[in-house]
Amino acid sequence: MTRTVYLNGQWLPEGEAHVSAFDRGFLFADAIYEVVAVVGGRLVDYEAHAARLRRSLCELGMACPFDEASLLALHRDIVSRNGVEEGLIYLQISRGAADRTFVIPKDTEPTVLLFTQKKAVLENPQAAAGISVVTLPDLRWARRDIKTVQLLYPSLAASEAAAKGADDAWLVEDGLVTEASSATAHIVLGGRIVTRPLGTEILHGVTRASVLDLARMDGIGVEERPFTVEEACSAEEAFITSATSFVVPVVAIDGTPVGTGKPGPVARRLREIYMADRLAGAI
């Protein structure tokens, strides 16, 4: 079935959606994006994603082309048009088209694209079995807190991990884990969650924030500090969080089993309470 996508004010069959060859998102990765999960035809953690979208645009000196009500209506409309009960919405906003120059042009019209992907986010086999990761150097740019489309290195890292027989990569800088290729990295030590604090080194994960808040309310301790690869390998548990996978246990790092080598009770509990809370609050 052909999807309907939104592009610059028009609803189009996916094969008819075309972007200018001079779009700065295409030429310079001068664009930001967000991904929102859809469950039961409703949006999960939408408000936090919308807030991060505006922050990313602000950090790049771009205005948001929608007010809050219009942006929400657009998300609901694309879900309805494509009959998405469970899956993802991808939104990308670039600075728009202009003649190629390194100096950022003024007064360009942004390019806005939305499309949907149908995906099973609730019954995720990896959540039940856990995933394996390998560690790789973090060679990305220094403003990882901005959710830009500069995703070549994470894509290379994920592909290298797959070539090594792993499910994902954990990126490492100065001996410390930053994050996964497209998710936040966490470990469990002494029954407490240890996760890197917010800063320019990592994306300010929406699911990360929700999970940590719920953990604290559930009586699970949280320590926000950098952690080493060695700590991760010797941890009781490890897991990732993201909008596309919620909470997924990590059962092996660089071939070394984490804890028992099976999903642990903290990760299982976090996935349980996250899904119950956020799905109840989905809009």
Token code pair at residue 141? 């740019």
pLDDT digits (tens, 9 = 90+) for 33-70: 999 999 999 999 999 999 999 999 999 999 999 999 99
Do 57 and 184 fall into the same domain?
no
Q: What would you report as the CA-atom Rg of the chain, rounded to the nearest whole angstrom?
A: 19
More confident residue, 2 or 257: 257
Active-site choice (118, 119, 147, 164): 147
Determine which helix (DSSP H) or strand (DSSP E) holds 213, and give its type and residue range. helix 206-217
pLDDT digits (tens, 9 = 90+) for 92-136: 999 999 999 999 999 899 999 999 999 999 988 999 999 999 999
pLDDT of 218 over the 80 cut: yes
Across residues 252-260, what is the average pLDDT?
A: 97
| Residue given tokens 């029954």 in the structure block | 191
Q: Which of 75, 92, 118 is the last residue of a domain?
A: 118
Do 171 and 45 fall into the same domain?
no
pLDDT at site 144: 98
How many domains does the structure of the chain reveal? 2
pLDDT digits (tens, 9 = 90+) for 179-214: 999 999 999 999 999 999 999 999 999 999 999 999
If you average pLDDT over every residue of the chain, what do you get? 96
Using CA atoms, how far apart are residues 132 and 172, in angstroms rounded to an integer?
16
Do 258 and 198 fall into the same domain?
yes
Do 45 and 86 fall into the same domain?
yes
Using CA atoms, how far apart are residues 283 and 280, in angstroms rounded to an integer?
9
Token code pair at residue 254? 């660089």
Do 148 and 91 fall into the same domain?
no
Using CA atoms, how far apart are residues 70 and 189, in angstroms rounded to an integer?
44
pLDDT of 281 over the 90 cut: no
Residue % of the chain over a pLDDT of 90: 95
pLDDT at site 280: 83
Active site residue 147: yes
Range of the domain at 230: 125-281
| pTM, entire model | 0.93
